[in-house]
């Protein structure tokens, strides 16, 4: 199992109307809300750490 395959829970408080709209949009695109949030997090990290962020965040397994 790779580091990225392991999971940790993230609890987010959000306005109920925004949550409903988000879930509706996710259904329309046939993706889960978790998939979208994970993608947003990956993009956020890459914007700040650069394209090689995986080595820094996930490690290469050699350290």
**Could you list the residue range(s) of the whole structural domain that residue 52 is in?**
14-58
Q: Give the CA distances from residue 50 to residues 6, 33, 41, 47, in Å, rounded to whole numbers and listed in that order.
A: 22, 25, 13, 6
15, two tokens: 């306005």
User: Are 45 and 57 in contact, with CB atoms under 8 Å apart?
Assistant: yes
Residue 26 lies in a domain: yes
Residues 26-36 have pLDDT tens digits of 999 999 999 99
Overall number of domains in the chain: 1
Residues 16-54 have pLDDT tens digits of 999 999 999 999 999 999 999 999 999 999 999 998 898
Its pTM stands at 0.77
Residue 1 lies in a domain: no
- For residue 60, the model assigns a pLDDT of 60
- For residue 57, the model assigns a pLDDT of 87
Residue 6 lies in a domain: no
């Amino acid at each position: 199992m790779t580091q990225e395959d392991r999971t940790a829970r993230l609890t987010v408080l959000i306005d109920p109307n925004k949550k409903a709209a988000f879930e509706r949009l996710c259904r329309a695109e046939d993706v889960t809300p978790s998939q979208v949030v994970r993608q947003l997090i990956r993009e956020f990290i890459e914007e700040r750490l650069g394209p090689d962020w995986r080595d820094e965040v996930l490690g290469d397994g050699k350290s």
